[in-house]
Structure 1
Amino acid sequence: MALQQDIDALLQRAVSDGDVPGVVAAATNRDETIYEGAFGERVLGDGPAMTPDTVVWIASMTKAITGMAAMQLVEQGKLSLDAPASDIIPYLGEVQVLEGFDDTGQPMTRAPKQHVTLRHLLTHTAGFGYEIWNPSIIRYQEAKGIPGITTCENVALTTPLLFDPGERWDYGINIDWAGKMVEAVSGQRLGAYMQANIFDPLGMSSTAFKITPEMRSRLAKIHQRDDRGQLAPIEMEVPQEPEFEMGGGGLYSTIGDYLKFVKMILNKGLADGQQLLKPETVELMSTNQMGDCRVCELTTAIPPVSRNAEFFPGMLKTWGLTFMINTEPAPTGRSAGSLAWAGLANSYYWIDPAKGVGGAYATQMLPFVDEKSLPLYLAFESAVYQHLS
């Protein structure tokens, strides 16, 4: 069976079985799109149909794009991977390490043993975490009256480090700070910088922090799975007039747009005759940049939003700038040394430089690593590789 029919059947079956409200997926080699398909509804039980150009919240798939922006500025000498980040953002020289809480519930903190750097931020080794997977951050937020990160309020970025920079890996608000560094040296809002230097050159015309009226006409709603496994749409949207544009998770996009980014990385920074990143920069971004630190399971602190999350449990995984890297071949067919990550509402992508293939997939549903959506994504990826061989 041809690739198109095979994956169409896979995705259609998942929708028909009620596993996902709607899904869109696409894959590319270095030259062209090899699969594109969309099934189901943008809003469960209330059409319109999911289409390849449906706009979705890509959440943490934003991180790789913010990483690209930062690395463009590293190439230009405006940012340094290893200088103190406080040279650019003074606050990052004042941030403290959380030691625990005293008898009255107040946080106890100390100064970090070394400077936070951009490399720490891009590899999630600075010490910052996310409240979704860290009860101590929730406790700190409650003690200090700090809102969650998705409020896009500047004060949300003032949670402490959980450990000394470079000590280990923990997934967190690091890339929001990297986005702030991009803004500081470019003199632009993050979205404006991305528009001029990434989206326009790549032809990503439906990607932005602010949803235009035209994009909204194609927007899918986010759904949530309850304790009984039932899905229902919820009201959830990144603030549209934010204090800061969330480099760690604020973008809306389409799978077709994101595939243009994937293809550019497969082509070592080249797109339509324009070298948006130097090949050696892409090489650096695509290799382990955190030494002996390792990616570990994210244990949920807010189960309705995320289940415990780990890709390919038991496999050693590292981090580049800013992608997860699998050190062994994955069961799907993904080569060792491939790049990947995901978005909270069950969107996923991978980039396999060795085999010259990559793809992106989106549903709009919580919790993260959903029991139905994640296996469907992995089945989609596996089907792409089956047809390659």
Structure 2
Amino acid sequence: MEDLEQVIKKACEDLDIPGCVLQAVNRDGSFKYAKTFGKRSIQPGGDQSPLQLNSVMWIASCTKLMTSICAMQLVERGLLSLDGPIYDIIPELRDQPVLTGFDDTGKPIEVPHKNPISLKLLLTHSSGLTYDSMHPLAAGWLKYHNLVPATDSKLLTRFGRLPLVFEPGTSWAYGPGIDYAGLLVERVSKMSLQDYMKKHLWEPLGVRNMTFFLASRPDLKAHMADMNKRDPESGKIVYTNERQPYQDGEKNEVEDCMGGQGVFSSAEEYIKILQGVLATDENEKILKKETVELLFTPYLSKGGSDTLNAFMQNAEANNAMGGISQEVRKDYALGGLFLCGDAPGGKGMKEGTLMWGGVPNLIWFCDRKTGLAGLYAGQVVPPGDAKCAGFTRMFEDAMYERYKS
């Protein structure tokens, strides 16, 4: 443990990373680890005070797990179906075509989709929806129409214009499916996703300092950590003033609660979510035990699984999605990336562990077999940074070693 802390402390001093917050906990809370490193800002003239456990970060796709939990609560109550079509609730997706390619003139070839889009397909990124900057078919479609990736915060206008990139249920592509799952929660519950999370997830777990709407929480904005990027020439971390989504107050305040990417939180608050998932085996505070089994069940088709594992042979993509050895096969469950085998060496994550992360190189894991969960939280873009991934792996190994001892 001392080696981990000394290595990360030196990395911050050397500007290999600006700082990070590490959190780990077991099922009953008898094991806890919480440590901060580095500064809130490395910007000259910025707030150079140390990062704190309550330092607020844009947690990006760490939001997805919370939205999945909320959707499954409504499945438990019989208000949503896991397998049925979603079109009665989101009719906007009923006629979404499938982009199969381009003809000799470069014109997109689009056909109606046949398999219905379901909540299960949305939660496992197998609906055919994709982020417009992450798929070659989507990139080609945008180019043909002389469009650029959308940056607004209105879900249906930001993501609704693109066709599907495969027939629902037949493949895998990272995309806004869980943003649409959040819209399902809103339309069925007749509450904003923020209000729903607050009542049915955050408050039951004692979470008070999370928000989709940063302008409404100046107390949280006052604790924001700066965003950073790696300088390609020096290899060191530098401050970036590139617009951080959802950060800049009323000028760039979001219109919609983006269930796949929109929450701001501190690490000390997010770890309560992960422990809450572990503790459902005993207290069912946020989900029934049988529902958590569904949350941790892989659901991809063979085509989807093969596509996912091929995608993660890219080192940067693998780092951004957990960084576990590429030799370990992965699948996708309702709650996140699913490990189909134990991590190499037999000392770390077990088969069935879920994990995911967020754009600024945050990574969480939740291992029900071991009863351990953890979070590496930082603010470095772009995702998949190799140094951040290396420190994440070091942190996880140290937590398993310490927990087992």
Identify the residue that residue 279 of structure 1 maps to in structure 2.
289
Please tell me whether the aligned partners of residues 220 and 364 of structure 1 are also in contact (alpha carbons under 8 angstroms). yes
Please tell me whether the aligned partners of residues 306 and 367 of structure 1 are also in contact (alpha carbons under 8 angstroms). no
2:19 equivalent among 13, 22, 29: 22
| AA at the equivalent of 1:41 | K
Is 1:335 matched with 2:350?
Answer: yes
Shift of 1:85: 1.2
Shift of 1:151: 2.4
Identify the residue that residue 226 of structure 2 maps to in structure 1.
221
Whole-angstrom distance in 1 between the partners of 2:320 and 2:204: 37
Instruction: Give aligned-pair identity as a percent.
Output: 34
Identify the residue that residue 249 of structure 2 maps to in structure 1.
none
Shift of 1:223: 1.0
1:360 equivalent among 375, 397, 402: 375
Shift of 1:145: 6.2
| AA at the equivalent of 2:185 | V
| AA at the equivalent of 1:156 | R
Whole-angstrom distance in 2 between the partners of 1:61 and 1:188: 21
Identify the residue that residue 42 of structure 1 maps to in structure 2.
40
Instruction: Assess, with a 3 A threshold, how the Cα gap between structure 1 residues 257 and 215 changes in structure 2: closer, same or farther.
Output: same
Whole-angstrom distance in 1 between the partners of 2:158 and 2:141: 11
Whole-angstrom distance in 1 between the partners of 2:223 and 2:109: 47
| AA at the equivalent of 1:250 | G
Instruction: Assess, with a 3 A threshold, how the Cα gap between structure 1 residues 299 and 24 changes in structure 2: closer, same or farther.
Output: same
Identify the residue that residue 156 of structure 1 maps to in structure 2.
158
Shift of 1:6: 4.7
| AA at the equivalent of 1:28 | V
Identify the residue that residue 237 of structure 2 maps to in structure 1.
231
The normalised TM-score by structure 1 is 0.91
**What does residue range 72-221 of structure 1 map to in structure 2 within 5 Å?**
72-102=73-103, 105-144=106-145, 148=149, 150-153=151-154, 154-158=156-160, 159-211=162-214, 212-221=217-226
Shift of 1:242: 2.1
Please tell me whether the aligned partners of residues 318 and 325 of structure 1 are also in contact (alpha carbons under 8 angstroms). yes
Instruction: Assess, with a 3 A threshold, how the Cα gap between structure 1 residues 184 and 41 changes in structure 2: closer, same or farther.
Output: same
Instruction: Assess, with a 3 A threshold, how the Cα gap between structure 1 residues 151 and 232 changes in structure 2: closer, same or farther.
Output: farther
Instruction: Assess, with a 3 A threshold, how the Cα gap between structure 1 residues 346 and 106 changes in structure 2: closer, same or farther.
Output: same
Please tell me whether the aligned partners of residues 286 and 339 of structure 1 are also in contact (alpha carbons under 8 angstroms). yes
What is the RMSD of the two structures over their aligned residues, measured on CA atoms? 2.4
Is 1:374 matched with 2:377?
Answer: no
Please tell me whether the aligned partners of residues 320 and 385 of structure 2 are also in contact (alpha carbons under 8 angstroms). no
Whole-angstrom distance in 2 between the partners of 1:119 and 1:61: 18
The superposition leaves residues 137-187 of structure 1 with CA deviations (integer Å, 9 ceiling, x where unpaired) of 233234446664552223111211111111012211111111111111011
| AA at the equivalent of 1:244 | D
Shift of 1:378: 0.7
Structure 1 residue matching 2:210: 3-state secondary structure: coil
Whole-angstrom distance in 1 between the partners of 2:147 and 2:193: 23
| AA at the equivalent of 2:115 | Q
Please tell me whether the aligned partners of residues 28 and 34 of structure 1 are also in contact (alpha carbons under 8 angstroms). yes
Is 1:321 matched with 2:334?
Answer: yes
Please tell me whether the aligned partners of residues 299 and 308 of structure 1 are also in contact (alpha carbons under 8 angstroms). no
Structure 2 residue matching 1:359: 3-state secondary structure: strand
Shift of 1:382: 0.4
Shift of 1:328: 1.0
Structure 1 residue matching 2:211: 3-state secondary structure: coil
Structure 2 residue matching 1:108: 3-state secondary structure: strand
Whole-angstrom distance in 2 between the partners of 1:122 and 1:77: 17
Whole-angstrom distance in 1 between the partners of 2:232 and 2:64: 30
Please tell me whether the aligned partners of residues 147 and 155 of structure 1 are also in contact (alpha carbons under 8 angstroms). no
Shift of 1:256: 0.9
Whole-angstrom distance in 2 between the partners of 1:104 and 1:171: 28
> How many matched pairs?
382
Identify the residue that residue 261 of structure 1 maps to in structure 2.
273
Whole-angstrom distance in 2 between the partners of 1:384 and 1:327: 21
Instruction: Assess, with a 3 A threshold, how the Cα gap between structure 1 residues 98 and 123 changes in structure 2: closer, same or farther.
Output: same
Task: Out of 314-323 and 137-146, give the one that drifted further.
Answer: 137-146
Whole-angstrom distance in 2 between the partners of 1:146 and 1:201: 43
Structure 2 residue matching 1:224: 3-state secondary structure: strand
Instruction: Assess, with a 3 A threshold, how the Cα gap between structure 1 residues 333 and 219 changes in structure 2: closer, same or farther.
Output: same
Whole-angstrom distance in 2 between the partners of 1:286 and 1:179: 19
